[in-house]
Chains A and B, each alone.
Chain A
Amino acid sequence: MTAAPAETGLKGSSERGRLARARLLRGLLPAMSLVLVLLAIAWLNPRAISYFGFSLMLNLAIPIALATIAQMFVIAGNELDLSIGTFVGFVGCVTATWLKDAPLVGALILLGSICVYALLGALIYLRNLPSIVVTLGMSFAWQGLAILILPKPGGKAPDWLLSLMAFKPPFIPFPIIAALLIAAVVHFGLMRTSYGVILRGSGGNAAALSRAGWSLLKTKVVLFALAGLFGVLSGMALIGITTSADANIGNGYTLLAIAGVILGGGEFVGGRVSPIGAVIGALTLALAASPLLTFMHIPPDWQVAANGAILIIVLAARVLISRRER
């Protein structure tokens, strides 16, 4: 005990002040990268900054944001979900076929798929399996099911879903309202409620949690079930926008969702996630993905590569800033 120097209260609080500022900076980072992308778009094409422009540019941001939130729940428990993209695709196929033709069956299938997610959480916890392996396997299962349901692109979204996604509120474009709503609801649920603390704690120090008498099985199941729920919402939102489905429609979402969580200030381990950040991260990626590149006159052949380059730059900036913190 002689090793610990007696630190004065003043020194301790200034040290913590510095850490708090660094945390604030990191918290603002997602918002700053979004602003940066918006500025670039405004500079390249000022007309895009309008009600109509935003509605168009952020059209696909809602499903991406929902998929990112789904991934965030999994990451909050120190796991990773490599199947969320094909799961979104599977949900999309169910939405465009069963949910329209036989709503009850469709709803049951979707509910069942959420249960499958919950069971995966239980399996991963009980057998102590690496989630990457389990979800990688499941990604093929979802993809296969999607192809069985819809061997070739087609189907049609239910009318109520189409009219919901086509909703045009006054003044503020619908995608922005939806993003705010998603962020607020999830933030409240995960960051403010008393059980949200337990869910995040399971990623922070699982041993401490089980010593305090909490069930880690339950936290894992709840986190995976929430991931399944938001995956379903994402798939439905996506079909509401595209109006018809394709078995491969969600494949890109897996990596977009992981990137969105990390871009939004989350970390792969330690239960450090931010729902608001994740939504902002998803918006940034949605904007950086195609509108920005189109305005930059990058030919479609190169857009995917340019997209990857943007991801690397933005994530590298995040790592650099959080490293300065230490």
Chain B
Amino acid sequence: MPEAGTEIIRLDGAEKHFGAANIDIIRLDGAEKHFGAVRALAGVDFHVGAGECVGLVGHNGAGKSTLMHMVAGTLMPDSGRIAVRGHVEDNYSVPRAQQLGIRCVFQELSLCPNLSVAENTRINHTTLRGFGWRRKAADLIAAKLDEIFPGHSISASDIASDLSIGRRQMVEVARAFTVTQDPLELVILDEPTSSLDAHTAGQLLGFVRRFVAGGKSCILISHVLGEVLGNADRIVVMRDGNVVASDAAKAFDRDRLVTTMGGAEAREKIAAKIATQKPETGPLRVRARPARQEDGNELVAHAGEIIGLAGLAGHGQTDLLLAIFAAAARAKTGIEVTAPVALVAGDRQSDGIFPQWSIAQNIGIRSLKRLRNGLLISPQREAELATFWQRKIGIRTPDMNNNIFSLSGGNQQKVLFARALGSDAEIVLMDDPMRGVDIGTKLEVYDLLREEAGRGRTFLWYTTETEELDNCHNVYVFKNGRIVANLTRDELTEEKIIQSSFGDAA
């Protein structure tokens, strides 16, 4: 990143670099943020100049959203400094950001569904008050909608919940560009086109270009790489909470972007090991077609296979896992399951753990039938099961009768694996279970999974971490609730997965 190096101008204390002050709308130096044990941002330097459209790309969890929350003032960095127009902001906050003309369109829709379009506009403008404010708010938003999306057919009196998701996104974008008292300098657009069709997306991007040409600034976050390449002046690539590249958009092409996002250095793969282990095709265990699948693609898993579910977060992987789980109990069209199923939940605090129970009880809950002695649960058998898995999976605790919360996060996750693996389930569904788990635990669990698969168990593994897919025999890539690619072990490369899940079909 040749240019990035020369552009970094440190602001020391109250000292101001006036040259920089004229250029940069916002500058973050060494911004760091932790959420519990997870490091979301690892000392990031980031800046946006006036009249510049900065494209921000990276995987899920690369830290883009966290960084943008800091720019917008909704999150404070644990350490590091924020300067706006060269002036260090010690008490940066949402109202302060608004005073300074920094706005954000968040990824999650943030309209109030029970309010009208005009009323939603009022929420962002404290000065829309007093006599006639309704008229003023309606005129303001209608004019901006006309400007950005000509022919939009949205009325200011429409209730937000009556609008389609695309129209809601249009309102939200237009609202961010409305101006009353506070200035407007920088707008952050986080996935602004995700719910827009090609036509309105084009209108929006055209407007962004005009906006930037007028000397204002914009940060564009998008998973559609073509959009970023075609509209940003400079592209910043993030990975694992770091900025790994920052260069003029012209210096990037699609391939370089994908490589930078994914990590250029080739990781050593466990491929060979798996390839040798690749089982004879065993009996069919799962055959499932996502509810929204229109073509003939379906997920097929045999005994002894580890199947990966990849793609961007929230594109139907979890839904399919839950559908398979439900189909095991009650027949469902389009899904065939031939063996007992267990699920390892991704969100262990809300979906996995029984907080009041001991470690042993948390392991035994999936195997109650086997632990029963007459009408009661035999404490002895429960303890046996727990001790077996404590040794096998290495749960670090002096006493399995301790409360589950006495364990660290990684060990709690091991308990959930022990629950599934200790049961009679031949099919284990895993819903991104390694979130926030340290690398040591991960490696131990990977080994265990391969061992269990060697014994004929089937694993369906949804993960947002591309490296984990190296453990899989077969990977299905999801997009918009559909399977868009089926990659075998040999075809599996990170680029391929990214290409499929980002594919600008539009």
What residues make up the interface of A, taking CB atoms closer than 8 Å to B?
Answer: 1-7, 9, 12-13, 15-16, 19-20, 23, 192, 194-195, 197-198, 200-201, 203-205, 207-214, 270-272
How far is B157's CA from A19's CA once the two chains are assembled, in angstroms? Answer: 13
Q: A211-B72, A212-B94 are in contact. List 11 more A-B contacts (CB 8 A).
A: A1-B198, A2-B480, A3-B481, A4-B197, A12-B153, A16-B158, A23-B159, A198-B122, A203-B114, A205-B113, A211-B104
Contacts of A195 in B (CB 8 A): 129
Q: Tell which of B19-27, B161-169, B247-255, B331-339 binds the partner.
A: B161-169
User: A288 to chain B: closest CB distance in Å?
Assistant: 28
How far is B134's CA from A3's CA once the two chains are assembled, in angstroms? Answer: 35
Q: Is chain A's binding surface mostly helix, strand, loop or mixed?
A: helix
A194 & B128 in contact (Cβ 8 Å cutoff): yes
**Category for how many chain B residues contact A:** 35 or more
Contacts of A210 in B (CB 8 A): 94
Contacts of B126 in A (CB 8 A): 213
B130 & A194 in contact (Cβ 8 Å cutoff): yes
Q: Is B32 an interface residue (CB 8 A)?
A: no
B94 & A211 in contact (Cβ 8 Å cutoff): yes
A201 & B159 in contact (Cβ 8 Å cutoff): no
Contacts of A5 in B (CB 8 A): 197
Q: Is B110 an interface residue (CB 8 A)?
A: yes
Q: Select one of B72, B74, B164, B481 contacting A12, CB under 8 A.
A: B164
Q: Is B98 an interface residue (CB 8 A)?
A: yes
How far is B201's CA from A16's CA once the two chains are assembled, in angstroms? Answer: 22
Contacts of B196 in A (CB 8 A): 1, 4
Contacts of B94 in A (CB 8 A): 210-213
Knowing A197-B115, A211-B94, the reply to whether A4 touches B162 (Cβ < 8 A) is no
Q: Select one of A2, A23, A270 contacting B506, CB under 8 A.
A: A2
User: B64 to chain A: closest CB distance in Å?
Assistant: 17
Q: Is B293 an interface residue (CB 8 A)?
A: no
List the 10 shortest-distance A-B pairs measured between CB atoms, nearest first. A204-B112, A208-B110, A204-B114, A9-B153, A194-B129, A6-B197, A213-B95, A201-B112, A205-B112, A19-B162
How far is B129's CA from A13's CA once the two chains are assembled, in angstroms? Answer: 30
Knowing A1-B196, A1-B201, the reply to whether A16 touches B162 (Cβ < 8 A) is yes
Knowing A16-B158, A272-B114, the reply to whether A213 touches B98 (Cβ < 8 A) is yes
B198 & A6 in contact (Cβ 8 Å cutoff): yes
Contacts of A211 in B (CB 8 A): 72, 74, 94, 104, 106, 110
How far is B361's CA from A320's CA once the two chains are assembled, in angstroms? Answer: 44
Which residue of A has the minimal Cβ distance to B172?
Answer: A208
Contacts of B166 in A (CB 8 A): 4, 7
How far is B166's CA from A250's CA once the two chains are assembled, in angstroms? Answer: 49
Can you list 19 contacts pairing A with B, beta carbon distance less than 8 Å?
A: A1-B198, A1-B506, A4-B165, A4-B166, A4-B195, A6-B198, A12-B164, A12-B167, A19-B159, A194-B130, A197-B115, A198-B122, A203-B114, A207-B108, A207-B110, A208-B110, A208-B112, A211-B74, A270-B113
Q: Is B224 an interface residue (CB 8 A)?
A: yes
Which residue of B has the minimal Cβ distance to A206?
Answer: B112
Which residue of B has the minimal Cβ distance to A8?
Answer: B153
Contacts of B123 in A (CB 8 A): 197-198, 201, 208-209, 212, 214
How far is B506's CA from A6's CA once the two chains are assembled, in angstroms? Answer: 12
Contacts of A23 in B (CB 8 A): 159, 162
How far is B108's CA from A197's CA once the two chains are assembled, in angstroms? Answer: 21
Q: Select one of A19, A194, A201 contacting B133, CB under 8 A.
A: A194
Knowing A211-B106, A213-B98, the reply to whether A204 touches B122 (Cβ < 8 A) is no
How far is B505's CA from A223's CA once the two chains are assembled, in angstroms? Answer: 49
Q: Is B259 an interface residue (CB 8 A)?
A: no
User: A26 to chain B: closest CB distance in Å?
Assistant: 12
How far is B126's CA from A293's CA once the two chains are assembled, in angstroms? Answer: 51
Q: Select one of A1, A13, A212 contacting B124, CB under 8 A.
A: A212
Q: Is B194 an interface residue (CB 8 A)?
A: yes
Contacts of B201 in A (CB 8 A): 1
Contacts of A6 in B (CB 8 A): 197-199
Q: Select one of B110, B162, B481 contacting A20, CB under 8 A.
A: B162
Contacts of B128 in A (CB 8 A): 194
How far is B128's CA from A195's CA once the two chains are assembled, in angstroms? Answer: 10
Q: Is B440 an interface residue (CB 8 A)?
A: no
Which residue of A has the minimal Cβ distance to B118?
Answer: A197
Q: Is B111 an interface residue (CB 8 A)?
A: yes
Q: Is B193 an interface residue (CB 8 A)?
A: yes
A201 & B119 in contact (Cβ 8 Å cutoff): yes
Q: Is B2 an interface residue (CB 8 A)?
A: no
As a 0/1 sequence over residues 193 to 214 of chain B, the CB contacts with chain A under 8 angstroms (1 = contact) are 1111111010000000000000
How far is B118's CA from A201's CA once the two chains are assembled, in angstroms? Answer: 12
User: B228 to chain A: closest CB distance in Å?
Assistant: 14
How far is B133's CA from A209's CA once the two chains are assembled, in angstroms? Answer: 18
A2 & B505 in contact (Cβ 8 Å cutoff): yes
Q: Is B151 an interface residue (CB 8 A)?
A: yes
User: A10 to chain B: closest CB distance in Å?
Assistant: 8
Contacts of B133 in A (CB 8 A): 194
A16 & B197 in contact (Cβ 8 Å cutoff): no
